[in-house]
Amino acid sequence: MTAPWWKGAVVYQVYPRSFCDSDGDGIGDLPGLLSKLDYIQALGADAVWLSPVHPSPNKDFGYDVSDFEDVAPQMGGMAAFEALTAAMHQRGLKLIMDEVLAHTSDRHPWFAESLKGDEGNKPDWYVWADTKDDGGPPNNWLSVFGGAAWSYHPKRRKHYFHKFLRSQPKLNWRDPGAKAAALEVLRFWLKKGVDGFRLDVANSFLHDDKLRDNPAIPPALRGKAHWGHAPNMQKRIHDSNLPENRKVLDEVRAVVEGFEDRFVFGEFSEEPGLIGEFVGATHGLQSGYTFTFLDDRSFSPQIFAAYYRFLADRPHVWPCVTFSNHDVVRTVTRYGGGKRDDALAKLALTLLFSLKGTILIYQGEELGLGAGDVAMDEVRDPVGELYFPFGAGRDPERTPMPWIADAVNAGFSTGKPWLPVDSVHAEMAANVQEGDPDSVLNFARTTIAARREFPALITGDIEILEANDQVLAFRRFTPEQSLLCVFNLSREPAVYAMPKRSSISPFEFGPGGWGFGGGGLTLKPLGAFIGQIG
Ligand code: NOJ
């Protein structure tokens, strides 16, 4: 049996507002994306994950949908979407949509109807609950974006639950009508020929119907991340992350698998320990990602080793592997490389392309971009306003793609971009990197192409090997092929004690920087060895 196309595929995430603007309004759009398909194809991607393009009041930039079955005029409308899908399919590229079905915008007609209560036909499509006598919220659930996860609405004289902004009311998947409508959205797009979905907060479809308080994480057990944001001080086991969430994921999967050759993976933003419940060969979604690597700033071998050891006990999970997206600080910056560090970018890409999973690579990661600068009056992300300048929100990872170094706005748009183009990014523009054989972009292209030659890197299993504080070592293998992959994640030279061997054949894969000596494999700072040992 051949593996499905998505196993080990390279999925390129496009955040369309910031990718390429065709009409000069400063906001990227689908004709802009269409004009860059050569670029995506030259990178070697198999598929594009397209962040939301539906009509939206854009309080959360598309993650607040007001019509699930249309495409925003600002993005080019449905005609542009159809043209894009056709062009992608002609090139053999798959299109994965981002569906946000855990909540809607408060401008969605479903919410307007639900506001009517029993006088309308959707009273329970959202999570309404009685207000406390003192006007306070029904329980202690906190919004991921800060403050209570509940807002009062005078029309119903009740509170409604919103895990994110108050303008993103939670859809009540316990209501059969709401659930059926959400599943119908998937069918609508599957019939239009999309190849799959990334499901936003797929851990959050169900909430506890008794509305029990989330327990506090005891202060003694809290680390920096807990103290950094009040919602992180509670264990989110009742507002979301219910084990029974799996049942609705089964239903989602059945819809998707009712169509041939489609792929559905989820964002599992909390309680990463539950990935084995929510993803499986025969249950839950086909794949998914946690924030284990996305949240990490240490780039320590231990993080990767521990996660894959954890997955070794859950062989039914085919993970998505990701270091970067529109929600987290860009890889190079997060892993300690400041605004630019090409050597770190290359090593991180090599690791990304070597780990077991479906690879999710975020626009600009192939250029080695670090966090973009965004001044206070340029902040657009509601999360950015929370703690600025202590925390900058998510705009620094959403600044426009730099295409042409010396063009206005680095070729992203002829109009004023919705977020500023970073000047260091402009220097790193795609056209500059295309002309430089040593660039991160050419490295990414070569490495993705080389990876295709090694089935063990694509669909193979992984075994983490004993190493040390600097070095991550693992084996990727199929019955026919076994590869040793060794990475020095530190900025000091390192030595790795090789397993006993009779032969060694290194591959031209990754940044190199290895040799023998000191009783083992020596690795330069940020060096890597990938090869076969006999
Ligand atoms: C996760 C998305 O990736 C993020 O951008 C969004 O704000 C939240 N879910 C809410 O939809």
Residue 270 appears among annotated catalytic residues: yes
Residue-wise pLDDT tens digits, 160-198: 999 999 999 999 999 999 999 999 999 999 999 999 999
Mean pLDDT of 363-373: 98
pLDDT for 534 beyond 90: no
pLDDT for 425 beyond 70: yes
Q: At what angle do helices 440-451 and 342-354 cross, to 10 degrees?
A: 20
Share of the chain above pLDDT 90, in %: 94
C-alpha span between 428 and 530 (Å, rounded): 28
Confidence tier at 367 by pLDDT (50, 70, 90): very high
pLDDT for 533 beyond 80: no
CA of 349 to the centre of ligand 1 (A): 24
CA angle centred on 404, ends 403 and 405, rounded to 5°: 120
CA of 471 to the centre of ligand 1 (A): 33
Q: Which of the 8 DSSP states describes residue 275?
A: H
pLDDT of res. 492: 98
Output the six-digit token pair for 330: 């860009």
Which candidate in 29, 200, 342, 381 is catalytic? 200
381 Cβ inside 6 Å of ligand 1: no
Residue-wise pLDDT tens digits, 88-99: 999 999 999 999
pLDDT of res. 502: 67
pLDDT of res. 148: 98
pLDDT of res. 270: 96
Mean pLDDT of 280-294: 98
pLDDT of res. 508: 84
Name the residue of 14, 59, 60, 322 whose CB sits within 8 Å of the most ligand 1 atoms, as the mutation to test its pocket.
Answer: 60
Query: From atom 1 of ligand 1, which residue's Cα is the shortest distance away?
Result: 200
All structural domains of the chain with their residue ranges: 10-105+175-451, 109-161, 461-533
CA of 395 to the centre of ligand 1 (A): 13
pLDDT of res. 165: 98
C-alpha span between 405 and 410 (Å, rounded): 5
Output the six-digit token pair for 455: 């089935």
Mean pLDDT of 324-352: 98
Residue among 30, 32, 75 nearest 414 (CA): 32
461-533 shares the fold of 109-161: no
Which candidate in 29, 98, 239, 270 is catalytic? 270
Name the residue of 51, 61, 63 whose CB sits within 8 Å of the most ligand 1 atoms, as the mutation to test its pocket.
Answer: 63
pLDDT of res. 383: 94
CATH of domain 109-161: 3.90.400.10
Residue-wise pLDDT tens digits, 218-267: 999 999 999 999 999 999 999 999 999 999 999 999 999 999 999 999 99
What length is written for the chain?
Answer: 534
Residue-wise pLDDT tens digits, 291-303: 999 999 999 999 9
Write b or e for each residue in 346-384: b if 16 or more Cβ atoms lie within 10 A of its Cβ, otherwise e. bbbbbbbbbbbbbbbbbbbbbbbbbbbbbeeeebbbbbb
C-alpha span between 465 and 109 (Å, rounded): 54
C-alpha span between 426 and 432 (Å, rounded): 9
Which CA distances in Å does 298 have to 17, 292, 333, 470?
Answer: 30, 11, 11, 11
pTM for this structure? Answer: 0.98
200 Cβ inside 6 Å of ligand 1: yes
Q: Which residues contact 243 (CB under 8 A, 6 or more apart)?
A: 274, 277
CA of 269 to the centre of ligand 1 (A): 9
Query: From atom 10 of ligand 1, which residue's Cα is the shortest distance away?
Result: 63
pLDDT of res. 441: 98
pLDDT of res. 498: 83
15 Cβ inside 6 Å of ligand 1: no
pLDDT of res. 361: 98
Within 13 A of 405's CA, how many CA atoms are on the CB side? 11
Considering the domain delimited by 10-105+175-451, tell me its CATH architecture. Answer: Alpha-Beta Barrel (3.20)
pLDDT of res. 390: 86
pLDDT of res. 505: 86
Q: Which residues contact 133 (CB under 8 A, 6 or more apart)?
A: none
Q: How far is CA 424 from the centre of its chain?
A: 24
Query: Largest alpha-carbon pair distance within the chain?
Result: 79
Output the six-digit token pair for 130: 């009685």
pLDDT for 4 beyond 70: yes
pLDDT of res. 44: 98
Residue-wise pLDDT tens digits, 119-150: 999 999 999 999 999 999 999 999 999 999 99
Residue 200 appears among annotated catalytic residues: yes
Q: Which atom of ligand 1 is nearest to the CA of 327?
A: 5
Q: How far is CA 377 from the centre of its chain?
A: 27
CA quadruple 230, 231, 236, 241: dihedral positive or negative? negative
Residue among 143, 156, 58 nearest 107 (CA): 58
Q: How many CB atoms lie within 10 A of CB 448?
A: 21
- Preceding amide of 73 cis, omega within 30: no
> What class has domain 461-533?
mainly beta
Q: Which atom of ligand 1 is nearest to the CA of 100?
A: 11
Q: What is the mean pLDDT of the chain?
A: 97
Mean pLDDT of 281-308: 98
